[in-house]
Chains A and B, each alone.
Chain A
Amino acid sequence: SAVISQKPSRDICQRGTSLTIQCQVDSQVTMMFWYRQQPGQSLTLIATANQGSEATYESGFVIDKFPISRPNLTFSTLTVSNMSPEDSSIYLCSVGQGGRVASSRGEQYFGPGTRLTVT
């Protein structure tokens, strides 16, 4: 399994500012995913990040608001820009584990999440 860390684990930010969340994986992975979980809600995919290409955003999410970087196969960042209280959520990084071992195909692991509160 992949071990994923996220920084920061939590933050309280002022309206109008930006926060960059880092996601580090202990092995090389092809695809990384960023999810948002608003209070009391389920998880919603923000975007898919492949190394060396632009991130693919889901409906309702735009690059200007959630720019993503994927500089290599073990690291990604998500920035929440010009924050408002509606952005208060848990943001989770996830990786898919490909590979030659059949049992590892389709595995999806999640980081511990970043709890963001916007005041």
Chain B
Amino acid sequence: AQKVTQAQTEISVVEKEDVTLDCVYETRDTTYYLFWYKQPPSGELVFLIRRNSFDEQNEISGRYSWNFQKSTSSFNFTITASQVVDSAVYFCALSEAKTSGSRLTFGEGTQLTVNP
């Protein structure tokens, strides 16, 4: 069975601080996908990134960066120079690697609050 753990329920930072959101996963699959989604107060889920299990190269997109370490089953998300607009719930998720799409297993989410 797949499982995703986001140990940090809530994080509060001051604007311009860097913040890292942790994600640890469990799966028996050798090939899988990992995701991060942002859910602002409006409720819509915003796709941030998808990572293949066979690609451990870290990725940077603007102020966002992701650190994937297969050896520790972790897929952490860092926001550099945080802004108030980053305040949201962030979900880490895991799926099988199927070309037609697959069910997602979500972590419990981390509520990030960025204070001015």
Contacts and interface: CB of A to CB of B under 8 A. Distances in A.
Interface of A: 1, 29-31, 33, 35, 41-45, 48, 90, 92, 94-99, 105-110, 112-113, 115
Interface string B33-77: 101010000011101001010000000000000000000000000
A106 B43 contact: no
B25 interface: no
Given A42-B107, A96-B100, A110 B45 contact: yes
Contact of B103 (A1, A29, A33): A33
A101 to B, nearest CB: 10
Interface residues of B, number: 24
A106 B104 contact: no
B43 A107 contact: no
Interface centre among A1, A105, A108, A113 (most CB of B within 10 A): A108
Contacts of A45: 103-104
Nearest to B104: A108
Given A33-B104, A106-B99, 19 more contacts: A30-B101, A31-B100, A33-B101, A43-B45, A43-B91, A44-B106, A90-B43, A96-B98, A96-B102, A105-B99, A106-B52, A106-B95, A106-B97, A106-B98, A106-B101, A107-B50, A108-B93, A108-B101, A110-B45
Interface string B96-116: 011111111011110000000
Given A94-B104, A106-B50, A113 B97 contact: no
B95 A108 contact: yes
Contacts of A31: 100-102
5 closest residue pairs by CB, A with B = A96-B101, A98-B100, A110-B45, A30-B100, A106-B33
Contacts of B101: 29-31, 33, 95-98, 106-108
